[in-house]
């Protein structure tokens, strides 16, 4: 089943162009995003949606965090994202009109399922599952659903499930934006073109593997790493840190780059590699000054830039240029090199990549 790949994780990373293409099949031919992709009566529910609450765990939670930036800026819909194990035990104020979106690869995660049931018990009946397994427990509990088509994900570290969740959440954002009259047909076409081009764009990022492998070799000897990002790429920094600790057992932390001087900067010295997610977006200049603060303390920088992020290689500053800048959808591309980095760091360390210690693929107990 592995073919020419050494591990399922590697295979699944490289399956992402196809997984995304399959997930986006509903928009492949047509020129519009239809609410019906979320269920027969989705138009009515989505048309009345004024608020969104996203609930998930782990990597799926990070997908939700990216979606929050999209939903608020593209669709103008306020969005809150909660960790399932917190939400289910928290005294929250329910709003029956809020659309509750649960995200789960497996559809069996105990906390996410319990949090969904908890929301329903509080009178929140507008529910949508974004899930990779059609007959799973979570999908059976929601009024609306979108099944991602990542195919079976075997590696414990989630990769293609994450990017297909992002594709689904981008479609949800566009459907809501349209129903809210926030999307001109020109913009809709632009987004659709960008979505359809994603498999090719991801393919080009995957070609950067040799350079990332070289970085991973320098990395594997480190005890700690810091991941920084801003805006919609902050959750990508979080996801990069989760991947690294999960399979290479290197202690990794992620921060919104603006938080650096509020504490974590104290950790930075020559032994602390700092990974920055640095696309050419509206926050790049802000991020660059954070990176200078790191350099001034001797921290070694590994910067994931893209076309247009004018950052120069220099002593202690390593730059990987991704070939395209991808605007709003850029988080989908920027997570790919971070997946590859942790995969290769784990290979150097000789850990059990597909079955990291202490972890299960599907967390069916709390």
Question: Which residues bind to ligand M6R, rule: CB under 6 A?
Answer: 57-60, 104-106, 109, 112, 156-158, 242, 246, 362-363
Structure-token pair, residue 260: 């650096």
d(CA 97, CA 116): 15
- Look at the block and give the residue holding tokens 């920088």: 301
Q: What is the nearest approach in angstroms of ligand M6R to the Cβ of residue 248?
A: 12
Question: Coil, helix or strand for 127?
Answer: strand
Q: What is the nearest approach in angstroms of ligand M6R to the Cβ of residue 57?
A: 4
| Cβ pair 49, 77 in contact under 8 A | yes
| Cβ pair 107, 138 in contact under 8 A | yes
Is 222 among the residues known to form the active site? no
Distances (CA, A) of 287 to 260, 303, 341: 10, 11, 21
| Cβ pair 120, 141 in contact under 8 A | yes
Q: What is the nearest approach in angstroms of ligand M6R to the Cβ of residue 180?
A: 28
Nearest to ligand M6R of 49, 104 (CB atom): 104
Nearest to ligand M6R of 157, 201 (CB atom): 157
| Cβ pair 69, 92 in contact under 8 A | no
| Cβ pair 216, 348 in contact under 8 A | yes
Structure-token pair, residue 316: 């202690």
Residue among 222, 288, 355, 361 flagged as catalytic: 361
| Cβ pair 334, 279 in contact under 8 A | yes
Q: What is the nearest approach in angstroms of ligand M6R to the Cβ of residue 164?
A: 11
Nearest to ligand M6R of 130, 284 (CB atom): 130
Nearest to ligand M6R of 65, 305 (CB atom): 65
Q: Indicate the residue whose CB is closest to ligand M6R.
A: 58
Q: What is the nearest approach in angstroms of ligand M6R to the Cβ of residue 97?
A: 25
Nearest to ligand M6R of 98, 165 (CB atom): 165
Q: Which residues are catalytic?
A: 361
């Amino acid at each position: 089943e592995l073919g020419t790949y050494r591990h399922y994780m590697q295979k699944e990373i490289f399956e992402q162009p196809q997984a995304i293409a399959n997930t986006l099949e509903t928009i492949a031919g047509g020129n519009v995003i239809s609410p019906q992709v979320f269920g027969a009566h989705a138009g009515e529910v989505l048309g009345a949606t004024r608020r969104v609450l996203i609930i998930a765990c782990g990597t799926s939670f990070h997908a939700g965090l990216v979606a929050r930036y999209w939903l608020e800026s593209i669709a103008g819909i306020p969005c809150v994202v909660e960790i399932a194990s917190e939400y289910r035990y928290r005294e929250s104020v329910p709003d029956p009109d809020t659309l509750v979106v649960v995200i789960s690869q497996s559809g069996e995660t105990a906390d996410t399922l319990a949090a969904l049931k908890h929301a329903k018990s509080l009178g929140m009946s507008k529910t949508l599952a974004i899930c990779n397994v059609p007959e799973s427990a979570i999908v059976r509990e929601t009024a609306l659903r979108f099944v991602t088509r990542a195919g079976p994900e075997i590696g414990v570290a989630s990769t293609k499930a994450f990017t297909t969740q992002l594709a689904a959440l981008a479609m949800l954002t566009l459907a809501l934006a349209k129903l809210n009259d926030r999307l001109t047909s020109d913009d809709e076409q632009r987004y659709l073109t960008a979505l359809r081009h994603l498999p090719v764009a991801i393919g080009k990022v995957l070609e950067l593997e040799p350079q990332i492998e070289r970085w991973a070799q320098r990395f594997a000897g480190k005890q700690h790493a810091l991941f920084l990002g801003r805006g919609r790429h902050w959750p990508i920094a979080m996801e990069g840190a989760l991947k690294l600790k999960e399979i290479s057992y290197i202690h990794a932390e992620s921060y919104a780059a603006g938080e650096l001087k509020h504490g974590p900067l104290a950790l930075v010295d020559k032994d602390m590699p700092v990974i920055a997610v640095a696309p050419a977006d509206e926050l790049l200049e802000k991020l660059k000054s954070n990176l200078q603060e790191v350099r001034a303390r001797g921290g070694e920088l590994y910067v994931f830039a893209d076309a247009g992020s004018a950052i120069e290689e220099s002593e202690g500053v390593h730059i990987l240029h991704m070939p395209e800048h991808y605007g709003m959808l850029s988080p989908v591309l920027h997570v790919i090199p971070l997946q590859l980095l942790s995969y290769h760091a784990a290979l150097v360390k000789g850990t059990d990549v597909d079955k990291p210690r202490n972890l299960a693929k599907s967390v069916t107990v709390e």
